[in-house]
Chain A
Amino acid sequence: MKKLLFVPFLLLAIFFQASAQDDAIQKFFSKYMDDDRFSRVYISPKMMQMAGGFLKSNAGTDKEAEELGTLISKVKGIRILSSEEVDGKSLYGQVMSTLTKNKFEDLMDVQDKGSSLKFMVREEGGLVKELLMISADGKDFTLLSMLGSFTYADLNMLADKTDIPGMQQYGKGSKGSKGAK
């Protein structure tokens, strides 16, 4: 009987585990989402799926466009939080300390005069489940999160072939230290 009771709880736990698709911004920095100094952008997985479908349906015989469409469909949401009226450096420090405590690993770090740009990843089973871009420069601050399930080759392709937010910076950085990982 006890075993039978355990089953629905287990199923419930699995369901919640499966539906826990929160990105780092939602998990750790949601307080800034209601802050008027910040701009927000969110693109849902469904929207990405539509964009991917759009590419695939127009690919015709173009194999590369079809692959890119499939890759774009893998993006399970993009969220951006940015401001031009905060203390970028101090916020950068706060964000870094929260992220390193929460198992995000450094992927790329560019420090140039007063500006900082960092890419961090959360990996599971050898795949990148979340890519974060954190940039700070004077009063500017941007935090970008992209959820999905990518190989590093996928990320390089996204950087090379798309205008997805953050990917341009990723492309520039990874060309400096070819094959970031």
Chain B
Amino acid sequence: MTAQAQSKSVKAMYEKYKSNDDFFHLELGGNFMNFAQGFKIDIDENDMATVAKSIEKLNFFNLPDNSDQNKMEYKALLKGLEKERYELLMETTDKKSGISIFSKGSTKISDLVVLVSGDEGDLMVFEMKGSFDQELVAKAVNYKSKN
């Protein structure tokens, strides 16, 4: 299963803020191995390398500081992703801060969206596109935890 188009909800959020000077956006595509090596992440095992190669694109967004607006944006993204049939993998919230991880796919996870909201109303969105085997991801997590 190849990566589908970017999440519509994330894209809508990007379109809304892209002209704002305080909006930060980083996009990494192509050879993720080079990116990972650049950051000195040790990836010499086959499984980890396969996982890294499975990432086709990585988007990172940091929304402008505006606590009330970002709270609404967080809720809108939650609803939007659910409508797009993203599945909530894991969530933890504590008063104002929270992390929600969404994914698509069953045995193969095809897209991952991570929403991180901070105590001071900051909101970050990570979007990873690719095709990851659940067991492979598990192996990679284990490999990272050992190092």
Given contacts A46-B103, A49-B134, A53-B134, contact A41 B91 (CB under 8 A): yes
Distance in angstroms from B44 CB to nearest chain A CB is 18
Whether, in the assembled complex, B142 has its beta carbon less than 8 Å from a beta carbon of chain A, the answer is yes
A181 to B138 Cα, complex, angstroms:
34
Considering only CB atoms and an 8 Å cut-off, how many residues of chain B contact the other chain? Answer: 19
Known A49-B134, A53-B134: A40·B92 in contact at CB below 8 Å = yes
A36 within 8 A of B: yes
Q: Which of A39, A40, A43, A50 contacts B137 (CB 8 A)?
A: A50
- Verify if B88 is at the interface (C-beta below 8 Å from A): yes
Contact indicator A51/B103 (Cβ below 8 Å): no
Residues of B near A39 (CB, < 8 A) are 92-95
A152 contacts the other chain (CB 8 A): no
| Residue in contact with B95 in the complex, picked from A36, A47, A49, A54, CB distance below 8 Å | A36
| 7 A-B contacts (beta carbon < 8 Å) | A40-B93, A43-B90, A44-B90, A46-B87, A46-B103, A51-B138, A57-B142
List residues of chain B with CB under 8 Å of any chain A CB: 87-96, 98, 103, 134-135, 137-139, 141-142
Residues in chain A within 8 A of chain B (CB atoms): 36-37, 39-44, 46-47, 49-51, 53-54, 57-58
